[in-house]
Structure 1
Amino acid sequence: MKILVTGAAGFIGSHTAEFFASQEHEVFGIDNFSEYYDPALKQLNLEDIKKAGVTFIEADLNDDLASKISTTFDYVFHFAAQPGISATTSLDEYVQNNIFATQNLLDFIKQNSPNLKLFVNIATSSIYGKEATLPETALPKPISYYGTTKLAAEQLVLGEQRTGKLKACSLRLYSVYGPRERPEKLYTKLIKSIYDQTAFPLFEGSEKHSRSFTYVGDIVKGMATVIGKEDVVNGEIINIGSDVEYTTQQGIELIEKIIGLKAKIEVTPPRPGDQLRTTALIKKARKLLDYEPETSFEAGLEKQVDWYRKKFL
């Protein structure tokens, strides 16, 4: 099968592209190497996926994609987005990279891959809002530019499905962690600060926030199960994550235990738009995809620390 992975040099996208290549699919990855975080770090991911046999295309999804891609595809896994909750990222950037880019990709795929089997939109638990403890049928109440524009992107994809223009589903991911996690995310930042013996900025009150922290390998395996189940998942929104919650404080303590050193915590003002609690309700994923997360929180963090040591120490 020919598979296109957008955002393929990013955290989850790189793992997904690498996994499909290992399954002997013909995988194409696209990424624009935005300045949101150091492109040199994405270059490390790119080296890994190229070694796995992924064909890479450097391009922005807002470009004229037909001038850059001549291949037709059987599947699209759409990760590329303006990520995260950041006070320094403007609404225009979220709109351009999450909404307009998604529609441009959809238009390209409809025109150039008429026999597409499935378009898989990668969404987020931030769509639900402050308390992401809900089933897929719940009314979305996003509280950030990120969550709002990712909801809009999801509806653009599902709108194409509802009008019969393509088969599509949307997978809402929960608090993914593991090797290659972005440098501004919790555990990569924490691990770096401990090894560098620098202060770790912790948003006030966030140590009590609870999350369905989900290991990236479990996320990838869950997403991959949609292949061959196009009729089952067509038009569906499906939560993918762990249904076991941990607080941020518990995560910090586990990292300290694994490394054998204490973090130097520096409390900073709370971050607007942050979620207080996420719990992945995955009954639907279990039913439709036979999905079951397998990696324990501590085992996943051990793998992330090991990755950091090998890449950066």
Structure 2
Amino acid sequence: MKILVTGAVGFIGSHTSERLQKLGHQVIGVDNFSPYYSEELKKLNEKALNDLGISVLQLDLREANLIEKLPTDVEYIFHYAAQPGISSTSTFEDYFSNNIIATKNLIDYALQLPNLKMFVNIGTSSIYGLEATYPEERAPKPASHYGVTKLAAEQLVLQKSREKQMKGCSLRLYSVIGPRERPEKMYTKLIANGLNDEAFPLFEGSDKHLRSFTYVGDIVDGVVSVIGKESQVDGEVINLGTEVEHTTQEGIEAVEKVLGKQIEINVIPKRPGDQLRTKANIDKARKLLDYNPQTTLLEAVEQQVAWYKKYFS
């Protein structure tokens, strides 16, 4: 099956592309190689994909008439591309154009594909708001421009499902960690600071925040399990993550244990919109996708440290 993966050289998109290719599908990657973070890391991810025979098109989804630039025999779309996270360097216009306009353009393209089986939108627990511990039926209360625009993107996909114009679903991911995590994210930054004897910038009070830190391999298990279940998941929102909670402090201690050294902490002012608690309610994922994440926090950190040391230490 020919599958299009957007955001293909990103953290989770690259892992998903690899898994799909190894499952025997033909994967076409799309990425705009945004300067949001290191081009070096994106090129490293691209090389890993190229080595598996996956081609990556450099294309900005905010451009119109994508049907003229992308293949027309695609049967599946996994849509990861987005303006990520909560960042003081990202404007509302960045979130709006990358998360809403780009998704609308991709939907317009998808509606012109004669053999499309499913459009899988990749959402986020940030849609729920400051506390993300709920089943999918809970009314969203996003508390950041990121969460608001990701909710809008999700609804654009589900709108077309409700109108019976295409099959579509949205997977809300929880606190994904592991190899290739972006450099500004918690674990990559902790590992880098620890190895380079630099202080880790900790947002005030965030050491007590609770998170469903979920290994990227477990996330990809859930994502690819959608294939073959198009009728069951059409129109659905599904949480993917672990039910096990850890504090940020426990995450720091896990990295320290793997590195065998203590990391200096530099407390900085709180970040607006940061979630206080995430705990994935995955009852629906268990039922529809037979989803069962197994990787422990320590095992995930060990994998991430090994990756970082191999490529950056």
TM-score range, shorter chain: over 0.9
Runs of 4+ aligned structure 1 residues displaced above 2 Å come to none
Q: Deviations over 1:220-275 (max 9, x none)?
A: 01111110000000000000000000000001001001001111100000000000
1:234-245 to structure 2, matched below 5 A, reads 234-245=234-245
Structural RMSD (CA): 0.7
CA–CA separation in structure 1 for the residues paired with 2:54 and 2:18: 7
1:100 is aligned to 101
2:114 is aligned to 114
- SS of residue paired to 1:88: coil
CA–CA separation in structure 1 for the residues paired with 2:223 and 2:109: 23
1:147-162 to structure 2, matched below 5 A, reads 147-162=147-162
- SS of residue paired to 2:111: helix
CA–CA separation in structure 2 for the residues paired with 1:241 and 1:16: 15
Question: What displacement does 1:296 show?
Answer: 1.0
1:146 is aligned to 146
1:227 is aligned to 227
Counterpart amino acid of 1:67? Answer: E
Q: Deviations over 1:58-82 (max 9, x none)?
A: 1011124223223421110000000
Question: What displacement does 1:50 show?
Answer: 1.0
- SS of residue paired to 1:267: strand
- SS of residue paired to 1:140: coil
Q: Does 1:67 align with 2:68?
A: yes
Q: Deviations over 1:66-102 (max 9, x none)?
A: 2322342111000000000011211011000000000
1:9 is aligned to 9
Q: Deviations over 1:133-190 (max 9, x none)?
A: 1110000000000000000000000001110110000000000000000000000000
Question: What displacement does 1:24 show?
Answer: 1.2
- SS of residue paired to 1:138: coil
- SS of residue paired to 1:272: coil
1:1-313 to structure 2, matched below 5 A, reads 1-63=1-63, 64-111=65-112, 113-313=113-313
Counterpart amino acid of 2:140? Answer: P
- SS of residue paired to 1:238: strand
Q: Which moved more, 1:123-132 or 1:34-43?
A: 34-43
Counterpart amino acid of 1:249? Answer: Q
- SS of residue paired to 2:165: coil
Question: What displacement does 1:294 show?
Answer: 1.3
Counterpart amino acid of 2:83? Answer: Q
Counterpart amino acid of 1:151? Answer: L
Structure 1 gap segments, 5+ residues each: none
- SS of residue paired to 1:98: helix
Counterpart amino acid of 1:122? Answer: I
Counterpart amino acid of 1:48? Answer: A
Q: Which moved more, 1:77-86 or 1:55-64?
A: 55-64
Counterpart amino acid of 1:116? Answer: L
CA–CA separation in structure 2 for the residues paired with 1:274 and 1:224: 29
CA–CA separation in structure 2 for the residues paired with 1:289 and 1:30: 26
- SS of residue paired to 1:80: coil
Structure 2 gap segments, 5+ residues each: none
Percent identity (aligned): 60
Question: What displacement does 1:122 show?
Answer: 0.2
